[in-house]
Every structure is written in C-alpha cells, then in structure tokens.
C-alpha cells in the first residue's frame, strides 16, 4: 500500500545530516511542522515551516519539557486514515494529518558518559520524542517514523526513488527500528536509575521481554536454549525445518559477512562453524557460487550459504547438488524455488531489509560484556603502502576483498585471496604462523596456485616469519594493521624480496 507524504513533523536534537532531507520534502511540496531549534534551522534554509504551537495553541512551556504533547499533534499522527469515525473526528476538531515524523532523541547516554550531574541527566530524558516515535510507529499503516539521524540517508533514497511515496513494507521496517530505538533508550535510562540503588544484574536480562521461542536444544543436545527476538522481522521462511541454536549462530555470521559486499557484484559466501569456507564475487550469481564452492567443497557440505543477489534457476541447479542446511537470499525466482524445495529439510530464507543493532553482548563470569559491533571496513583508500613496491590495481582489489573476509574470521586468522575469491584461510589458531601454514596447506590441497595471491592478517606481525613464509608460497602483496614495534623487520624483508605491503591502522580481532 503506497502512500504519498504530504505533511511532516520534524523535531530533532541533532541537525547533522538533516538539510538534504528537509530540502527534498520541500521540493516534494510536503507541508512542514516543527518546534524550537529545528524550526529555526528550517527557517534558516529559507524553507517555509509551521510552528507546532500554532496547531496546539500553546507555546513551548516548562523550559521546553512540553512542546509536542497535545491531542492535535498525536491525533494527527494516530488517526486511522481509512476509518470513517476517525476521519470525522479529525475534521470536527480540525486535526491535520501528519504523514511523517522525524525525531532524533536527546542524547541521554552521551550525557551520562560525559559525567554530567544528575539534574542535567534528568533533563536529557526525552519525553515528547519517545511519545512521537511510539505513536507514529504504532500507526505505521498510515505514517512513516524516522527515529534516528542514522536513517536520514536511507529515507532520502527511498523518497527519491519512489517519488515522495512509501510502501507499507518501508513503513513497517521503520516502525520496527523505531521500537528498537525506544527500547534501547528506555533500557539505558532504567540502568542509570538502578545504578547504585539495586543489583544491576537484573537489568541485563531485559532481552527476556522480547518475543521468544524455545529451541530443540543449544549448542549441544544436553543444553537447553531459547531465542529472544523477532525472526519474522528479518526473514521470511520459505521452506524447511525450524532453525536450531547453531543455525542461528551461523546465520548471524553469514549476515555480518555478506553485508560487507552489499555494493559488490553477485557474491556467495559459505559458512561453516561461523567462518567462511568459501566466498567469491563474480559477474553472475551462478559463477559466484561455483567459485565460492571451489574454495573448500569438503567443508561446504552441511554449511550455511548466503548471497547478496537474487537466486535464479541456473544458480539453483548448482546449489541443489550440495547438501546444505540453510540458504539465505534477498529473492528467489519461482523456478529456483521449485528446484531448491525438492529437499524436505533444507531451510530457505528470504532476507528482509532491517536495520540491526550496533551493539553486541556476551555473558562472561558473573556479568555481561557489551561493545559496539566492528563496523569499520577498510577500502583501498584506507591502505597505506609502507614498502618500496606499490601493490598493483589487481592486488589492491584482492587486498580489500581479503580484508573483508579476514574481519569476519576467528582470530588468529590469515586470509589468502586472488581475483575476488577466497583461496583459503587459517582460522582460530593460537599462532599467526600456524594460521598461515594452515591456509597455505589448505589452498594447495584444493589445487589453488598461490603465485600472485595476496594475504590479509587480522592483526600486526610481531616478527617477519609470516611474510617470509608467504613469499615462499607465492604471495606478492600483504595487508595488515601495522603498529608492531618490529614492523620495520617485516617491511625490510618485503623490500628485499619484492613483496608489496600496505597497512590500515585497524585491527580486527574476533573471539
């Protein structure tokens, strides 16, 4: 159900990145409403905007604590456009429709992290913004909620491509993200209030409020397991049995890796025990899969496969030759589905666009570790040549490919690649030298010629032994973070032996 946006309420804390979106809305003749500093920002762009207080009849009061909290505002968001009773009441009380709401919440967590005093922290608890987010998300059938400045670019793209309209799928996806924003925000506030006053161990179990499903068992049959989350928001299950604990862990690894290749050509990745045993980019989906499988057809048996492209019949014919647990793709042709559904238990997932959390959690000892996800991805522009020999253009492309794979492989890791194809990797070794030797042996076992291949390392080389071994195997270019006090030893060896080396300054440990 496509809907044109005719009106929008914009009330944001940070104005960063807002201007292009405001200009597009104005170009599309969208009537804009706003408050306070956001209103001033829009006026300074010489774009007409209506003050919310002209709707409510009240100015911003109590030091800005109350600006948008009014039946006219929330009625304009929440009334059901197809409901005759709602439409009549909107007309009776002169309530204008608000088709889109853009909110960026007060920076509560940043204020806490800054060491601010409690009174200042309290004032950074957003009330109106959270209410706007929840109301607009609730009425997603009629309204679009943009709940974070991280969504401005995506929103701009959607409205440009769809000429100022949004589809129901767009609005539902944004609503799901909005409730994620509000949940995270309220959890942060909850934890701040509990700090020093109660045992915070209870607060880390907020995930138990999410939808849940009991799994057959955990990592092993003797372990009880539950998944907390809404899989339906992320995937449409087209075929096969229920997902297991290990399936979900592998699917998570698949999604993280393939997202590095969203702007690449057709790419297939094959995951086994969270590591890529095959990945390749090619001109066609079929060729990408064939190349990925050739990396390690033995490990691929029973693996989880993901692609960034539609699966057609020709690709499905190749895929159907392999026993796999799961296949994930953004779309399948009808003929492809008929072929792939021939195996009863094979799980086929169609991935939906969904903004994932930028955080990750892990239980350790008597608590929980939290960290940002590793969202840094180096491109060739982030690589600094530190040797006399410059890498060729083909080597740079291969180095960027290898770096992306390396980032998603268990440490210690070494990745060998050539021409947009993984040749082999050494995974989860206690020694970087062991990881390299494992990768070399594996590549040779599957008939790959390492002459002219490149090597990526997830961390620096404390000694020159790895570049020595790599050179002897045929490696001609190397990428590593750099930062060892003995970097010069590895660089000197490369200079003496005609190997190109680049550094990125970014380590990618994965434990």
Residue positions annotated with a catalytic role: 138, 273
Pairing of strands 454-457, 477-480: parallel
Residue with tokens 């607009």: 136
299-303 CB contacts, 8 Å cutoff, 24+ apart: 299/270, 299/272, 300/270, 300/272, 300/324, 302/272, 303/250, 303/270, 303/271, 303/272, 303/277
Structural contact between residues 330 and 351, judged by C-beta atoms closer than 8 angstroms: yes
List the beta bridge partners of residue 83. Answer: none
Compute CA distances 436 → 32, 47, 253, 439, 479, whole Å. Answer: 59, 59, 22, 5, 13
Can you say how many angstroms the Cα of residue 107 is from the centroid of all Cα atoms in its chain?
22
Packing angle of the helix pair 487-497, 465-473 (nearest 10 deg): 20
Query: Of 120, 81, 82, which Cα lies nearest the Cα of 97?
Result: 81
User: Cis ω on the peptide bond leading into residue 259 (within 30° of 0)?
Assistant: no
> CA–CA separation, 261 vs 282, rounded Å?
12
Compute CA distances 169 → 66, 164, 183, whole Å. Answer: 32, 15, 21
> CA–CA separation, 219 vs 225, rounded Å?
8
**Most distant CA pair in the chain, distance:** 84
Query: Of 440, 409, 408, 410, which Cα lies nearest the Cα of 424?
Result: 440
> CA–CA separation, 246 vs 272, rounded Å?
10
Task: Kindly state the helix (H) or strand (E) to which residue 11 belongs, with its residue range.
Answer: strand 7-12
Q: What is the full DSSP assignment across 286-353?
A: HHHHHHHHHH-HHHHTTEEEEESS-B-HHHHHHHTTS-EEEEEES-B-HHHHHHHTTSTT-EEEEEPP
76-84 CB contacts, 8 Å cutoff, 24+ apart: 76/7, 76/9, 77/9, 77/101, 77/132, 77/135, 77/136, 77/139, 77/143, 78/135, 78/138, 78/139, 79/139, 80/139, 80/141, 80/142, 81/142
Residues 6+ apart with CB under 8 A from 9: 33, 34, 52, 68, 73, 76, 77, 98, 100, 101, 102, 132
CA angle in degrees (0–180, nearest 5) for 174-190-106: 55
């Amino acid at each position: 159900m496509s809907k044109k946006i005719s009106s929008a309420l914009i009330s944001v804390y940070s104005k960063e990145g807002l201007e292009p979106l405001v200009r597009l809305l104005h170009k599309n003749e969208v009537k804009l409403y706003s408050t306070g500093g956001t209103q001033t920002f829009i006026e300074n762009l010489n774009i007409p905007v209506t003050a919310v207080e002209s709707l409510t009849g009240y100015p911003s009061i109590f030091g800005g604590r109350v600006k948008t909290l009014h039946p006219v505002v929330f009625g304009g968001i929440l009334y059901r456009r197809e409901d005759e009773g709602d439409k009549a009441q909107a007309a009776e009380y002169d309530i204008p429709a608000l088709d889109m709401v853009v909110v960026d919440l007060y920076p509560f967590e940043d204020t806490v992290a800054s060491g601010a005093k409690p009174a200042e922290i309290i004032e950074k608890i957003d009330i109106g913004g959270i209410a706007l987010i929840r109301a607009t998300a609730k009425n997603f059938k009629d309204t679009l909620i943009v709940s974070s400045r991280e969504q401005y670019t995506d929103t701009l793209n959607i409205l440009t491509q769809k000429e100022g309209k949004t589809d129901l799928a767009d609005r539902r996806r944004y609503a799901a993200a909005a409730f994620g924003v509000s949940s995270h925000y309220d959890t942060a506030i909850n934890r701040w209030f509990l700090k020093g006053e109660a045992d915070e161990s209870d607060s880390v179990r907020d995930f138990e409020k999410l939808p849940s499903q009991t799994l057959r068992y955990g990592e092993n049959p003797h372990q009880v397991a539950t998944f907390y989350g809404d899989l339906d928001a992320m995937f449409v299950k087209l075929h096969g049995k229920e997902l297991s604990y290990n399936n979900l862990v592998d699917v998570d690894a698949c999604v993280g890796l393939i997202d590095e290749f969203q702007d690449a050509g057709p790419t297939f990745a094959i995951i086994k025990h969270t590591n890529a045993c095959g990945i390749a980019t090619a001109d066609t989906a079929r060729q990408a899969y064939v190349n990925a499988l050739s990396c390690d057809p033995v490990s691929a048996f029973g693996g989880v496969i993901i692609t960034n492209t539609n699966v057609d019949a020709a690709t499905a014919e190749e895929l159907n030759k392999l026993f796999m647990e799961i296949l994930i793709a953004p779309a399948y042709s009808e003929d492809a589905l008929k072929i792939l559904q021939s195996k009863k238990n094979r799980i086929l997932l169609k991935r939906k666009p969904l903004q994932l959390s930028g955080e990750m959690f892990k239980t350790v000892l008597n608590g929980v570790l939290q960290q940002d996800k590793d969202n840094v991805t180096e491109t060739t522009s982030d690589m600094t040549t530190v040797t006399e020999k410059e890498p060729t253009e083909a080597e740079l492309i291969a180095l960027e490919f290898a770096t992306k794979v390396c980032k998603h492989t268990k440490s210690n890791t070494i990745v060998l690649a050539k021409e947009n194809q993984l040749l082999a990797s050494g995974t989860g070794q206690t020694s970087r030298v062991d990881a390299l030797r494992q990768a070399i042996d594996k590549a040779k076992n599957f008939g790959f010629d390492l002459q002219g291949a490149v090597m990526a390392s997830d961390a620096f080389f404390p000694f020159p032994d790895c570049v020595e071994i790599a050179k002897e195997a045929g490696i001609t270019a190397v990428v590593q973070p750099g930062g060892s006090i003995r970097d010069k030893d590895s660089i000197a060896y490369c200079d003496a032996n005609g190997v190109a080396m680049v550094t990125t300054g970014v380590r990618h440990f994965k434990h």
